[in-house]
């Protein structure tokens, strides 16, 4: 692989003038946000790179687990921040759902499919967990937002099912289906077009790193199936685990689970 020098790396930032110029000409208020986002990404990745270099060198199981726990907490915090749901009510339940699903899939991939020595090898555990978790974040934002916003907008339809004798889980099934479909569809589109329309980042990185193309393809197929399984499992887990706190004793959707409603009630 051709190593990037710091001098050549700086040139990539010149590409930012394209979107920034477009934003400026058409008065789209994304100039400041774009600059802040890129700077934040750069600083975060450079710091993470230094830390990962340290973790990979030591390859200690406890350091690896600590980093994975940090990843899960940050991911869960970010997911709830992108929805209208109150973090204080949902945080621990969605953390549990996100953790179980991503850890289960990641452990299966590492322990059963590739089997590195040792099994907790940080070079595999952290990148794979990061790929799976990153995709699950997007899926959970879509599913939680769709599920609860649709329930709120169609509350009469939901309550009709309750009045007709449906249990909570029976009444929310149509909304659950739509939420899971919303989370799964982007991943399905990506799976269906991979190879012909696009070359995924993991596969491209492996090829640039010198891996044989067929080996990179096998890894990519495996990781995309892992991502898809984790997205579906995590969305189901998070929605089902959150039902207990989202509804009152009469099976009505609580208004105070939404941030803006909670503020208006106080």
Residue range 200-258, pLDDT digits in tens: 777 777 777 777 888 888 888 999 999 999 999 999 999 999 999 999 988 999 999 99
Pair of tokens at residue 230: 């984790």
Question: What is the pTM (predicted TM-score) of this model?
Answer: 0.85
Whether 68 and 126 have beta carbons less than 8 Å apart is answered as: yes
Residue 173 CA to residue 179 CA, distance in Å, equals 10
Domain boundary pick from 58, 80, 97: 58
Which residues have a Cβ under 8 Å from the Cβ of 31 and sit 6 or more positions away? 20, 23, 24
Phi, psi at 93, each rounded to 5°: -70, -45
Residues 101 and 228 in one domain: yes
What are the tens digits of pLDDT across the range 166-188?
Answer: 999 999 999 999 999 999 999 99
Residues 101 and 185 in one domain: yes
Pair of tokens at residue 191: 């799976």
Domain boundary pick from 37, 58, 79: 58
Indicate whether 23 belongs to any domain. Answer: yes
Scored b (16 or more CB within 10 A) or e, 77-94 reads eebbeebebbeebbbebb
Residues 140 and 247 in one domain: yes
Q: Reply yes or no on whether the pLDDT at 266 is more than 70.
A: no
Indicate whether 194 belongs to any domain. Answer: yes
Indicate whether 10 belongs to any domain. Answer: yes
Indicate whether 266 belongs to any domain. Answer: no
% of the chain exceeding 90 in pLDDT: 73
Indicate whether 200 belongs to any domain. Answer: yes
Q: What is the pLDDT of residue 27?
A: 92
Q: Which of 34-38, 55-59, 180-184, 212-216 has the lowest mean pLDDT?
A: 212-216
Domain count, the chain: 2
Residues 214 and 164 in one domain: yes
Residues 51 and 33 in one domain: yes
C-beta neighbour count of 156 within 10 angstroms: 7
Whether 229 and 100 have beta carbons less than 8 Å apart is answered as: no
Residues 175 and 241 in one domain: yes
Q: To which residue do tokens 């051709």 refer?
A: 2
Considering the chain, what is the average pLDDT of its residues?
A: 90
Confidence of residue 264 (pLDDT cuts 50, 70, 90): low
Residues 27 and 97 in one domain: no
Indicate whether 265 belongs to any domain. Answer: no
C-beta neighbour count of 239 within 10 angstroms: 25
Indicate whether 45 belongs to any domain. Answer: yes
Kind and range of the H or E run holding 246: helix 213-246
Residues 66 and 7 in one domain: no
- 3-state DSSP assignment of residue 72: helix
Owning domain of residue 113: 60-256
Pair of tokens at residue 39: 């700077």
Which residues have a Cβ under 8 Å from the Cβ of 257 and sit 6 or more positions away? 85, 86, 89, 90, 148, 245, 246
Indicate whether 262 belongs to any domain. Answer: no
C-beta neighbour count of 168 within 10 angstroms: 15
Over range 132-147, report the average pLDDT: 95
Residues 170 and 141 in one domain: yes
Residues 146 and 176 in one domain: yes
Domain boundary pick from 35, 58, 81: 58
Residues 54 and 126 in one domain: no
Residues 12 and 83 in one domain: no
């Amino acid at each position: 692989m051709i190593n990037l020098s710091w001098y050549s790396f700086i040139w990539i930032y010149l590409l930012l003038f394209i979107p920034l110029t477009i934003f400026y000409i058409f008065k789209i208020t994304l100039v400041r946000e774009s600059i802040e986002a890129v700077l934040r990404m750069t600083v975060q990745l450079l710091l993470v790179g230094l830390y990962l270099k340290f973790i990979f060198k030591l390859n200690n199981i406890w350091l690896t687990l600590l980093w994975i726990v940090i990843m899960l907490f940050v991911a869960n915090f970010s997911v709830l921040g992108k929805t209208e749901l109150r973090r204080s009510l949902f945080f621990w339940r969605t953390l549990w759902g996100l953790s179980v699903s991503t850890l289960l899939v990641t452990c299966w991939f590492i322990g059963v499919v590739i089997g590195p020595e040792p099994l907790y090898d940080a070079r595999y555990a952290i990148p794979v967990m990061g790929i799976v978790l990153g995709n699950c974040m997007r899926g959970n934002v879509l599913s939680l937002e769709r599920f609860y916003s649709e329930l709120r907008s169609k509350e009469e339809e939901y309550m009709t099912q309750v009045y007709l004798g449906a249990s909570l889980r029976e009444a929310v099934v149509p909304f659950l289906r739509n939420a899971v479909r919303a989370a799964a569809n982007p991943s399905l589109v990506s799976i269906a077009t991979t190879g012909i329309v696009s070359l995924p980042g993991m596969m491209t990185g492996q090829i640039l790193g010198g891996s044989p193309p067929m080996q990179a393809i096998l890894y990519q197929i495996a990781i995309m199936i892992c991502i898809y399984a984790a997205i579906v499992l995590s969305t189901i887990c998070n929605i089902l685990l959150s039902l207990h706190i989202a509804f009152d004793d009469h099976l009505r959707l609580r208004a105070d689970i939404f941030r803006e409603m909670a503020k208006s009630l106080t």
